[in-house]
Amino acid sequence: MSQARAVRFDRYGGREVLYTAEIPIPEPAAGEVLVAVRAAGINPGEAGIRSGAVHERFPGTFPSGQGSDLAGVVAAIGDGVTDLAVGDEVLGYSWRRSSQATHVVVPATQLIPKPAGLSWEVAGSLYVVGVTAYAAVRAVDPKEGETVAVSAAAGGVGSLVVQLLGLRGVRVLGIASPANDDWLTAHGAIPVHYGDGLAERLAAAGPIDAFIDLFGPEYLRLAVELGIPRDRIETIISFADAAELGTKAEGSVDASTPEVMSEMAGLVAGGQLEFPIAATFPLERVADAFAVLEQRHTHGKIVLLP
Ligand SMILES: NC(=O)c1ccc[n+]([C@@H]2O[C@H](COP(=O)([O-])OP(=O)(O)OC[C@H]3O[C@@H](n4cnc5c(N)ncnc54)[C@H](OP(=O)(O)O)[C@@H]3O)[C@@H](O)[C@H]2O)c1
């Protein structure tokens, strides 16, 4: 194959601006690796970049590719890469908005070996949610026996946060819709439904030591109203409100290291963390994949298979 296929968009807009283009297979420069991508997860932040909604913080450059998460097989290595070889199975990330493609070039430092026990779907969608969940839990540093409330507790990030808290012996109040009651209960969390009366339901569930917001600013304000100390309130999304209120706001950039990726991959491969896959789509159906994701009711990850 001399050509690669890659997700592209040429202007801000709705899902209709997404398409797949034939492009030359990129060549790795020194320190880089060409990966033949087997799976690439999609993430809600990408819809914000594509629509222009987060232009101030993450401006688009056109034509734009898309995607951070990836897993695949090393197809070529650049000068100076010594710890990876052609044929190795890897997982990792691109910070060039480029992983949703048949081929991608990334620095070797952004890849780790794929544990044999991980499926391509899981390996290819582990990076963003894995390191973000790790960062969010670390930000509130919960101790055994404490109670932590989590909004969007059964989503891509939330399903890992709930389980990481469980591994620490934390009592988890998982804020979600009734559709996720069974999954949350089966994973040791107490389901608490969002909507009218949430503050009262949380207050009735007992003293809350920390709050991890994975959904939006209304939850940061609720956590402050509940009297939770601000240094034990964390959000991965409401950055402006966090700055105003003096809460924490740590995310993927704070934990994007090979060590954290390896730890999370090891926990999933070892069965200590379940990693739900909600759906897979071929690369060409990227717009359909985002149509599902943008409903904001996904349980687990949606993954593109190039
Ligand atoms: N800072 C970072 O590094 C970083 C990294 C990753 C993600 N993020 C951001 O974090 C957010 C979560 O990402 P994700 O991948 O976990 O998203 P996701 O998988 O799309 O989250 C979907 C979840 O949101 C829940 N939800 C829907 N409406 C809700 C409501 N009103 N209150 C509480 N929960 C509600 C859904 O639960 P039900 O189905 O039960 O309704 C569903 O489980 C996104 O905004 C994303 O952009 C930031």
* Ligand 1 atom 35 nearest Cα: 152
| Rounded Cα–Cα distance for residues 24 and 53 (Å) | 30
* Ligand 1 atom 9 nearest Cα: 237
| Rounded Cα–Cα distance for residues 67 and 159 (Å) | 21
Whether residue 130 has its Cβ less than 6 Å from ligand 1: no
Whether residue 45 has its Cβ less than 6 Å from ligand 1: yes
Whether residue 125 has its Cβ less than 6 Å from ligand 1: no
Do 150 and 214 meet the contact criterion of CB atoms below 8 Å apart?
yes
Count of beta carbons in the 10 Å neighbourhood of residue 251: 20
Whether residue 158 has its Cβ less than 6 Å from ligand 1: yes
The pLDDT of residue 45? 97
Whether residue 110 has its Cβ less than 6 Å from ligand 1: no
pTM for the model stands at 0.98
> Residue 279: which residues within 8 A CB-CB, separation 6 or more?
289, 292, 302, 303
The pLDDT of residue 187? 98
The pLDDT of residue 77? 98
Whether residue 67 has its Cβ less than 6 Å from ligand 1: no
Q: What separation in Å is there between the alpha carbon of 246 and the centre of ligand 1? A: 22
Atom of ligand 1 nearest to the CA of 175: 33
In the numeric block, the tokens 């026990």 are attached to 117
Segment 205-221, tens digit of pLDDT:
989 999 999 999 999 99
Q: What separation in Å is there between the alpha carbon of 214 and the centre of ligand 1? A: 5
Atom of ligand 1 nearest to the CA of 216: 45
Q: How far apart are the first and last CA of the chain?
A: 14
Positions in the chain short of pLDDT 70: 1
- Mutation pick for ligand 1 pocket among 235, 250, 297 (CB with most ligand atoms within 8 Å): 297
Token representation of residue 222:
């609720």
Whether residue 132 has its Cβ less than 6 Å from ligand 1: yes
The pLDDT of residue 1? 62
